[in-house]
Structure 1
Amino acid sequence: MCGAELPGGAMFCGECGSSSTATPATRKRPDPRPSDTTIIQRLPPTVISVPIDVPIEPIDLSPAVVLPRPVQAAPLTAVVTAPVSAPVTAPAVPASTSAPLFDLQFSTGERATVGGTGLIGRRPLPQPSEVFDHLIQISDTGMSVSKSHLEFGQQDGELWVSDRFSGNGTIIRRPGEAALRCEPGRRYRVPRGTRVEIADQFFVLR
């Protein structure tokens, strides 16, 4: 109650509207669930950790495809006359004895005798559909030469070269002619005595 004086027999206060006979005990609402004594304990915090040294496998969300029988791809075959994992230190054996032989003398001190097709670079790697007679790996500590920098082949008894979209390009210096920068993907005939610059390295065709 607010403390206002009530006339005799009044049951409610005219100022605040509270009951004149109400007590703190009667104002307390009854417990709607007197028999519920369940105590809910607070769960301890949970930490989920993933070891950093264990790779997480990606989840494939694409629908599963059921094949009637397993299909195995045919193995790729290529003729390699020079080891890919080590620089060329000896002339390579040509794949075809009827093709003319060309001697490549590199600025790194390496030499290779070729006859047919091939790739030159720091670590030459053919595409899955390609087959070459030679894979010539040269040493280049400055890493200016691309992994598969140059492609070569023969036509009408002459050697041609083609830049394989290398990072630093290819320049041809034919005897008695001005230097020519190769357009990537285009073949250029190179006569004997030509100097072919592949980035910071080069070879002379003999």
Structure 2
Amino acid sequence: MDSPDFIVPPPHLIPPRHDTGTETVRVPSRERSLPVFAPPAAAQAPTAAAPARQWRLLLPGGRAVPVTGTVLVGRNPVTFGAWTDAELVAVDDPAASVSKTHAAFEAHGDTLTVTDAHSTNGVVVVADGKRERELTPGEPAPLAHGETVHLGRYAVRVELA
């Protein structure tokens, strides 16, 4: 307080202190209960939902394309007709046997269908490397896990993962 920069307030502005004694007073506790964590009992534990299975197309070269709705596959596919909101998947076919918009793959839950979109070289489904079925253009055909779909000479494998 002896420094010239220290300003001392007038005595009437300083409140008197009543807490200068040496007595310690215990503060009353607040009766608040904290939440207690209790892990669920084994019988009440929620069971983990099985992960949703999803169809996918395995293209040559290892590319996997998930099928959650409609996927149009071709050299340079375009949406048309009933497939205006479809996902477009362009493929590189060195044999040039795939049409511009060759086929439509449609997933409906655990079911996957393929429809030949009136392609030039057709769609053939091969199961187990033995049975072949050539599709009629415009008519959807169901697919099973592990089958191979030939779009012309271009082979696509379908899987339910």
Instruction: State the Cα distance separating 1:129 from its structure 2 match.
Output: 6.3
Asked if structure 1 preserves the Cα contact closer than 8 Å seen for 2:70 and 2:83, the reply is: no
Partner of 1:180: 133
CA shift, 1:128, in A, is 6.5
Are residue 113 (structure 1) and residue 113 (structure 2) matched? no
The list of structure 1 runs, each at least 4 consecutive aligned residues, that deviate by more than 2 angstroms after superposition, is 107-111, 128-133, 174-177
Structure 1: stretches of 5+ with no match in the other structure: 1-98
Number of the residue aligned with 1:49:
none
Aligned residues: 109
Matches within 5 A, 1:91-102: 100-102=53-55
Equivalent residue, structure 2, for 1:149: 102
Mapping 1:1-206, distance limit 5 Å: 100-127=53-80, 130-155=83-108, 157-175=110-128, 178-206=131-159
- CA separation in 2, counterparts of 1:177 and 1:158? 22
- Cα pair 2:67 2:107 within 8 Å, conserved: no
**Of 177-186 and 130-139, the range deviating more from structure 2:** 130-139
Choose 1 or 2 for highest CA Rg: 1
For residues 52-83 of structure 1, what are the alpha-carbon distances to aligned partners after superposition, in whole Å with 9 as ceiling and x for unaligned? xxxxxxxxxxxxxxxxxxxxxxxxxxxxxxxx
Letter in 2 for 1:105: L
Sequence identity, in percent? 27
Counterpart contact for 2:69–2:108, Cα < 8 Å: no
2-side partners of 1:106 and 1:128: how far apart?
Answer: 25
Q: Is the 8 A contact 1:194 1:205 kept in 2?
A: yes
Return the alpha-carbon distance in structure 1 between the equivalents of residues 129 and 92 of structure 2: 29
CA drift at 1:198: 0.6
RMSD over aligned CA atoms reads 2.3
TM-score, with structure 1 as normaliser? 0.48
Give the secondary-structure state (helix, strand or coil) at the position aligned to 1:192. Answer: coil
| More RCO (CA 8 Å, sep 6+) | 2
Residue identity opposite 2:56 in structure 1: D
Q: Distance in 2 between matches of 1:109 and 1:167?
A: 25
